[in-house]
Amino acid sequence: MRRVNAGSALSAVRSVAAAAVLALVLGGCGGSVPAARFYVLDYGDQGSAPARPAGARAPIVLGIEGFTTSPLYGDRRIAYRASAHEVVYYPNHYWAAAPGDLVADAIAKQVRRAGAVETVAVAPFARTPDWLLSGDLVTFEEVEQDGRGIARIVLVARIEAVADDRLLREEEIRAERPVAKRNPEDVAAAMSAAVEEVGARVIALIGAEAAKR
């Protein structure tokens, strides 16, 4: 989909929806129905902090749970915020799993790769972790900003000490990245970069708490 200005961005997304409806009608008349497409977060090893030597890692087993996901993204369709009161979805384009689970898994890999703690475990846990990272995925969508598409994520992250059920840190983390073109694949790429930024902040929070030990 071509880049459009602020006035026509919503109509462009709606045009995609209208085309999908037409395709479904044609499908009932012998035409083909568009296949569903699924997207993941992937930012690889590029831009991540180098792993710390084993002796420099905090002696902590960090457990990471899947983050809760706002009901707006519950059915996994890729969302576009048309206005303060309207959300539009790309038809037939879905995240491959619940967004909260995708983000938690990506951050778990990032924390493990950075070597911030001794062990990173993802629920269900084989043993009780020392700390638990949980969170609420409040925003996970494309928005319009200055005539361009922006991938926006807002995560309320919490780090808790499991032994005494004590909250160590809670912070709302926001990140945005420009979408190259108005299409789901570029939204996924931009969101991946935004999630990497959020993961870097989570790693900094873990390091700050570990330094107090």
- Domain spans in the chain, listed from the N-terminal domain onward: 37-210
Across 12-26, 99-113, 163-177, least confident range: 12-26
Q: How confident is the model at residue 120 (pLDDT cuts 50, 70, 90)?
A: very high
Highest-confidence range of 12-16, 27-31, 122-126, 134-138, by mean pLDDT? 134-138
For residue 151, give both structure tokens.
């991938």
Q: Rounded to whole angstroms, how far apart are CA atoms 177 and 210?
A: 29
Q: Report the pLDDT value the prediction gives residue 76, as an integer from 0 to 100.
A: 96
Q: Report the pLDDT value the prediction gives residue 146, as an integer from 0 to 100.
A: 85
For residue 66, give both structure tokens.
């899947």
Q: How confident is the model at residue 158 (pLDDT cuts 50, 70, 90)?
A: very high
Q: Report the pLDDT value the prediction gives residue 18, as an integer from 0 to 100.
A: 44
- Homologous superfamily of 37-210 in CATH? ABC-type transport auxiliary lipoprotein component (3.40.50.10610)
Residue (of 71, 70, 90) closest to 80 by Cα position: 90
- On the question of pLDDT at 89 being above 70, the answer is yes
**Contact (Cβ atoms closer than 8 angstroms) between residue 159 and residue 131:** yes
